[in-house]
Amino acid sequence: MSATSTRKRKAVALAADADLVLRKCRQLRQSLEVKAEIESSVVGVLPEGIPSDIVEVVELPATQVLEGMEAMALHIAQQVLERKGFSLEIPSRAASNQIYVKEWDRIVLGGKRSSRSFLNVKESRKSAITLRVMQLLHAVLMKRIHITKRDLFYTDVKLFVDQAESDGVLDDVATMIGCTRSNLHVVASDKGLVVGRIQFEEDGDFIDCTKMGVGGKAIPPYIDKIENIASDAEFILLVEKEAAYMRMAVRFGEAIGFISHSIIASHSIWLHSQEDRFYHRYPCIIITAKGQPDVATRMFLARITSELKIPVLGLVDSDPYGLKILSVYMSGSKNMSYDSASLTTPDIKWLGLRPSDLDKYDLPEQCRLDMTENDIKTGKEMMKEDFIQKNPEWMKELEIMVRQRRLGQGY
């Protein structure tokens, strides 16, 4: 008989009532309010050591975006009239120009720039695509409509060939003008869902997310059309997978246990009542992007967190991909680093099963999975990232993962 099977399992106590579970959330909320006051006093002040030429876009009205685009077109026309062909100076989005700013806890775009010349044979096609995308975006803004990235691609398939071409140039145009991608009126398709204690107006329509059925409300891609956000929630529960989100939305009795002094988890203990929805007993907002977070879900989370100033608890898989997803919400992604200010939500608390819990709570073998070589490779790569290294707790859990080569099944 193995030592694991003879080891006495550590007892885990349930909280007696919802107030005990929520106490930690209320403490986190108070600390967020204090932090917000401190940050408001230093708005516009660049932290010491951060390069002054970093590229960070801002929200701009359609009129300013149009003016920026028309100014670029005029500059191109002047170059052509001077028989110089034309070239564009574009902020480099290469990996070497991605900078992690510890003081902001997010990835930003550095100050390097690249030139795109129509007279250069290697760059002529990309230059033509850039002008075509600008032309299409100008028409969309003039008509005051929104389109998806897929719509943009299908407008000129022969030129673009692959959607990655038009998507990449779309980001280039945003960085050149200095606006967010949503300011260009191009959005990604709906993906994320929200349910729970939040109400808002969406393009004039009142939305109450406690009355949106089991599936919840699709997070709209047009975040700029959301107004008058109101909520009595104590926290936001960010769930990696849709299946777990559905359990939370339907029955709180199948959703939550209380482990240790600060961890709310869904992996081991179920409360008994199944007569109510989770967010009624534990006032919260539940959000999922169904896996890898999309731009609209990240922007929506950042927006409501900023306005409501309540903590975010992230329930993700106990594997490198779960932490990778959480890090995108917190610190941003490299391909959208120029817009990290509006897409990131710092200080999300990691919930759920951790690698250190496998032995701590003596979880049986059927709850453990062997890591694949790809899992291990991803874990090792993550341990090299600055935004992971700044969190000793995450580093410890990743080290345990890679060393033991075992994962907890599910949450």
- 295 by DSSP, 3-state: which? helix
358's enclosing H/E stretch is helix 357-360
**Whether residue 154 lies in the annotated active site:** yes
Query: Which single residue is written with the structure tokens 């070497």?
Result: 96
Pairing of strands 368-370, 235-239: unpaired
d(CA 400, CA 411): 17
Please state, in angstroms and rounded to a whole number, the distance separating the CA atoms of residues 358 and 250. 28
Question: Looking at 100, 154, 279, 282, which residue is catalytic?
Answer: 154
- For tokens 């453990």, the residue is 368
CA distances from 191 to 207, 288, 289 (A): 18, 9, 6
> Helix, strand or coil for residue 193?
strand
DSSP structure string for 177-195: HTB-GGGGTEEPPP--EEE
Q: Which two tokens stand for residue 280?
A: 């009624």
3-state SS assignment for residue 227: strand
Distance CA 295, CA 220 (A): 11
| Active-site annotation, residues | 154
